[in-house]
Structure 1
């Protein structure tokens, strides 16, 4: 998905927004970002992520768990 295809309201700016979306703590977000576990990027020095990318990541985790 490129920037022109991104749905309106898809961007999460800051660890607090990402934490709220994932249902985890701000500290957990920073750990997930640092360990490169979640799809994220820096935007002007602020951690950011797309809801669509996080949703896809979670779906892939669920599918992997269902395979085992």
Structure 2
């Protein structure tokens, strides 16, 4: 998933997705120059965030 797909999955803008990745708030990794994240990692991250809220 690139930043555009991450943003669509999370319901945020692409700019917000880049910001969350650069601040290491959401789990991500880089494939060359592309920001990427696994859907399963984002889902578990959201579940953990919901429990702590």
TM bin (shorter chain): over 0.9
Larger radius of gyration: 1
Matches within 5 A, 1:1-68: 12=1, 14-65=2-53
Larger strand fraction of residues: 1
Normalising by structure 2, report the TM-score: 0.95
What is the alpha-carbon root mean square deviation over aligned residues? 0.6
Structure 2 distance, partners of 1:29, 1:15, is 6
Normalising by structure 1, report the TM-score: 0.75
After TM superposition, give the deviation of residue 20 of structure 1 in Å: 0.5
Give 5+ residue unaligned stretches, structure 1: 1-11
Structure 1 distance, partners of 2:10, 2:50, is 14
How many residue pairs are counted as aligned between the two chains?
Answer: 53
After TM superposition, give the deviation of residue 45 of structure 1 in Å: 1.2
- SS of the equivalent of 1:53 reads helix
Larger helix fraction of residues: 2
Give 5+ residue unaligned stretches, structure 2: none
